[in-house]
Amino acid sequence: MGGLLLAACGRKNRAASANDPAAFGPAGPSPGTLEWAAAGDWRSADDKSHDIWRHPVQTLRFWGLKPGMTVLEFWPGLGWYSDILAPYLARSGGRLIAAQFPAAANDPAQAQILNAYRKKMTARPGLYGVPQMEDFGPASGPLAASDTVDLVLFPRNLNTFMAAGIADKAFHDAFRALKPGGVLGIEAHRGTPGGVQDILATDGYVQEDYVKQLAAEAGFRFDGSSEINANPKDNHNHPYGVWTLPPTRRSALVGQPDNPKFDHAAYDAIGESDRMTLRFIKPK
């Protein structure tokens, strides 16, 4: 299985570099390139194992990431994307702003993630630079000065904003921070087209039309979509929502102990969720 994953990752990397012949040198990705950042040995083996589903190089290129940008990432968690963004931006004179869980939030799980993220991002300034740390939550203020950010990212967390009742705030905070012409990139678990949106996204899935509505209400213009992260095997109907699928592999309701008799085979065969990858523009 490991050989298959390595082969798949190799095919993805070669495809990603097709439009950037300078990205790879004789010894691998050229330092400072996006391919170099994605292949870095500072990324864990577990994080890299998800690349075949999440396609970080292609996704970031679709969103328009370029050297020297100021990038604002909302709720980066343990830093799956930050591990790629921070070294890439630090090498090119750019800057990463991480809008993490509120430091004052009374949530032990969030506090643990926040502390682990801050420890990692500050331990190696030669690699990660000095990312700017901000809080994003129901009562948080501006995350950056108005009209100063080139690219804002909501990677696989819009459903979490919805569950917390702060999705509208996320879009408006992103709009304020972006420069005119700046991009909001969204990757989200895609609900079955034509369905009725649960505003709390209880199963983790979000209707594409609903995302576009939230973006338009904040002032954004839809600029394109990609099927980079689509998974046609996902029928969006699972007993414990999107978290039934890998990598979470939930086998019981939240708050209940795992069910050791739950058969994961059919859900593991699906792989990670079907995801929409969208790009929005702050009009000039």
Q: What residue ranges do the domains of the chain occupy?
A: 46-281
pLDDT for the residue numbered 9: 39
Q: 134 phi and psi, to 5 degrees?
A: -130, 160
- Identify residue 189 by its one-letter amino acid code: H
User: CB of 109 within 8 A of CB of 70?
Assistant: no
Q: How many Cα atoms within 13 Å fall on the side-chain side of residue 179?
A: 9
Structure tokens at 117: 């993220």
Torsion of CA 196, 199, 200, 202, to 10 degrees: 0
Task: Print the SS3 string covering the chain.
Answer: CHHHHHHHHHHHHHHHCCCCHHHEECCEECCCCHHHHHHCCCCCHHHHHCHHHHCHHHHHHHHCCCCCCEEEEECCCCCCCHHHHHHHHHHCCCEEEEEECCCCCCCHHHHHHHHHHHHHHHHCHHHHCCCEEEECCCCCCCCCCCCCEEEEEEECCHHHHHHCCCHHHHHHHHHHHEEEEEEEEEEEEECCCCCCCCCCCCCCCECHHHHHHHHHHHCCEEEEEECCCCCCCCCCCCCCHHHHCCCCCCCCCCCCCCCCCCCCHHHHHHCCCCEEEEEEECCC
- CA contacts within 13 A on the Cβ side of 147: 4
- Give me the pLDDT at residue 47, please: 98
Residue 23: φ, ψ to 5°: -70, -30
Output the pLDDT for position 27.
66
CATH class assigned to 46-281: alpha beta
Q: What is the CA radius of gyration of the chain?
A: 19
Tens-binned pLDDT, residue by residue, of the chain (284 aa): 333 333 333 433 433 443 444 455 556 799 999 999 999 999 999 999 999 999 999 999 999 999 999 999 999 999 999 999 999 999 999 999 999 998 877 789 899 999 999 999 999 999 999 999 999 999 999 999 999 999 999 999 999 999 999 999 999 999 999 999 999 999 999 999 888 999 999 999 999 999 999 999 999 999 999 999 999 999 999 999 999 999 999 999 998 999 999 999 999 999 999 999 999 999 99
Between the alpha carbon of residue 265 and those of residues 15, 81, 270, the distances in Å are 30, 28, 9
pLDDT score for 15: 39
- pLDDT, residue 13, reads 41
Q: Are 198 and 159 in contact (CB under 8 A)?
A: no
pLDDT at residue 107, rounded to an integer:
86
| pTM for the structure as a whole | 0.89
